[in-house]
């Protein structure tokens, strides 16, 4: 390749990566994620071995898996899993010691209920980088689906502390949601509500946190959830029971987990999916 052509190719690649990262960071929604995915795919068309573009694309697929209220479509979920995990395998071949790759792969497997495989990836991520916040909060959140009798909250709290040190808003929103979900499952509704409100303050469009907040408020003395339910329904009119089950019920077959989940699931079914 001529030097001038090589320089042009590198400039185009850098611009694609820059636009992809900017779109991904701008807003946590389907439109911004699709825009980011477009730029990362374009970057891969220039250099199919570019690790940043591989991880960037896979991260968007992980978002699509983990935010199913964006699309309410199980077919999209299955496609995102297949594509995201494949991209991460390629990234791992090129850069085998990247904690981000293992964490994202773990998050993808956890989202579709392959929690034991997810745990292997997430533990490997922690061993590679013990200061990487998402590895900690994802690993302990995922443990909830494997060993529900073990208190996962201290591990999630460590993830929160690491994210706060990095001042990473998106990581903090996810970690506080995980903590709020765990507290709600364990019946600590006031603590759960506090965590979930913090998560939603950091990311107002976080559907999972919104749903658990409705459940926690319903199950506690704060029984008035009318405005929260109406807000969620208005934003996500196509949300349905299949998606709700995918998010939480299908995540684990562990009896202890499903016993803990039962009142939370029933509250959401009654409040959000009940008569409209």
Domain with CATH 1.25.40.10 in the chain: 30-130
262: closest CA among 177, 151, 185?
185
Q: Where are the beta strands (DSSP E) in 134-271?
A: none
The CATH classification of domain 137-276, taken from the options 3.30.70, 1.25.40, 1.10.10, 1.10.3470: 1.25.40
pLDDT of residue 226: 85
253 burial (CB, 10 Å; 0-12 / 13-18 / 19+) is exposed
57: closest CA among 95, 31, 85, 30?
85
Instruction: Answer left, alpha or beta for residue 168, where phi above 0 means left and psi between -120 and 50 means alpha.
Output: beta
**Residues 133, 107 contacting (CB under 8 angstroms):** no
pLDDT of residue 275: 58
Tokens of 40: 């990362």
pLDDT in tens, the chain (276 residues): 434 444 446 688 999 999 999 999 888 889 999 999 999 999 999 999 999 999 999 999 999 999 999 999 999 999 999 999 999 999 999 999 999 999 999 999 999 999 999 999 999 999 999 999 999 999 999 999 999 999 999 999 999 999 999 999 999 999 999 999 999 999 999 999 999 999 999 999 899 999 999 999 999 976 678 888 999 999 999 999 999 999 999 999 999 999 999 999 999 999 999 855
pLDDT of residue 6: 40
pLDDT of residue 1: 47
CATH fold, domain 30-130, is 1.25.40
3-state DSSP assignment of residue 132: coil
pLDDT of residue 263: 97
């Amino acid at each position: 390749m001529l030097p001038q052509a090589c320089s042009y190719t590198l400039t185009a690649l850098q611009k694609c990566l820059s636009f992809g990262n900017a779109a991904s960071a701008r807003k946590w929604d389907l439109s911004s994620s699709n825009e980011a995915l477009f730029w990362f795919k374009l970057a891969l068309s220039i250099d199919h071995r570019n690790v940043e573009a591989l991880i960037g694309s896979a991260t968007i697929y992980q978002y699509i898996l983990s935010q199913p209220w964006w699309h309410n479509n199980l077919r999209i979920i299955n496609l995102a899993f297949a594509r995201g995990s494949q991209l991460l395998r390629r990234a791992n071949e090129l850069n085998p010691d990247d904690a981000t790759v293992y964490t994202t792969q773990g998050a993808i497997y956890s989202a579709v209920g392959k929690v034991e495989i997810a745990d292997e990836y997430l533990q490997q991520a922690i061993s590679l980088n013990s200061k990487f916040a998402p590895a900690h909060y994802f690993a302990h959140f995922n443990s909830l689906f494997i060993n529900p009798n073990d208190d996962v909250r201290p591990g999630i709290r460590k993830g929160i502390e690491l994210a706060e040190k990095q001042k990473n808003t998106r990581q903090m929103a996810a970690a506080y949601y995980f903590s709020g979900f765990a507290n709600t499952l364990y019946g600590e509704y006031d603590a759960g509500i506090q965590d979930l409100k913090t998560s939603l303050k950091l990311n107002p469009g976080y559907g999972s946190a919104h749903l658990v907040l409705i459940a926690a408020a319903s199950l506690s003395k704060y029984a008035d959830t009318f405005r929260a339910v109406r807000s969620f329904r208005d934003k996500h009119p196509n949300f349905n029971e299949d998606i709700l089950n995918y998010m939480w019920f299908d995540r684990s077959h562990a009896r202890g987990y499903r016993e803990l989940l039962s009142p939370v699931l029933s509250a959401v079914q009654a409040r959000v999916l009940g008569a409209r």
